[in-house]
Amino acid sequence: MAQSIGGGEAELPEDVLARIRRARRVSVLTGAGISAESGIPTFRGAGGIWDKYDFRKLATPEGFREDPVLAWEWYRLRQREIWKARPNPAHETIAEMEMHFERFDVITQNIDGMHARAGSRNVIELHGNIWRARCVRDGTVIELDAPVEDIPPLCQCGSLLRPDVVWFGEQLPERALEIASEAASASDAMLVVGTSAVVHPAASLPLLTKKNGGLVVEMNLEETDLTPYADLSIFGPAGEVMPALWRRAAFPERFMTEHPIIANR
């Protein structure tokens, strides 16, 4: 039965914690909400980027062909914003968890590269990465270690480079989606963090875990389309909820001595 609780140090169901402890394979699905807590604006929803900018000019193949300079100026601005941001406790907790399970997959809809900066090694990027550029002629991919300087950037072959991200009207990378689906299907537990669970096919991944008998725990600021299907929904900031959940799951003895209510008795 689905359960919903508030975040922070709210009492977490012991049966859920026990299933996380017993898990051999775990996956985490993250969305814009986790990076919003690092100061990176979201794309959708009230106050999102697409409320202010025309995605047809900035995030479609047609818009890029019409004005690659405009598109790259905008992506450089995005790169500079992300460059100044830092991974938050949710990113860091996810990176720490990777060391405690036989197999651990981070599946992200974000393009900011924050999981890798936090230390996660096995990251499946469904929508690409803003720190890569791809040649429009032959598909050569170039890693970027800083915001681009020359606008528009060119490949060594002389052709235009485009951001290696998924734009409107484009399909998700087939191989990334295949790996993500396999991970979701095989996971003993999936944690869904900071995503509205409405954009498919990513939104269907937790249902694959659930269908195959796995645990699904959702962490978000508010209810989503996934909430009725999750075994547990925890509402609160990811930077508070993720560390609290992991402390309880991985270090139950330490929690008993550190919890402020118990420690003061």
Tokens of 138: 């032959």
| 200: annotated active-site residue | no
In angstroms, how far is the first alpha carbon of the chain from the final one? Answer: 33
Catalytic pick among 91, 100, 115, 127: 127
Give CA 157 to chain center in angstroms.
33
Residue that is written with structure tokens 């890798």 in the block: 116
- Residues 27 and 102 sit within 8 Å (Cβ to Cβ): no
For the annotated catalytic residues, the residue numbers are 127
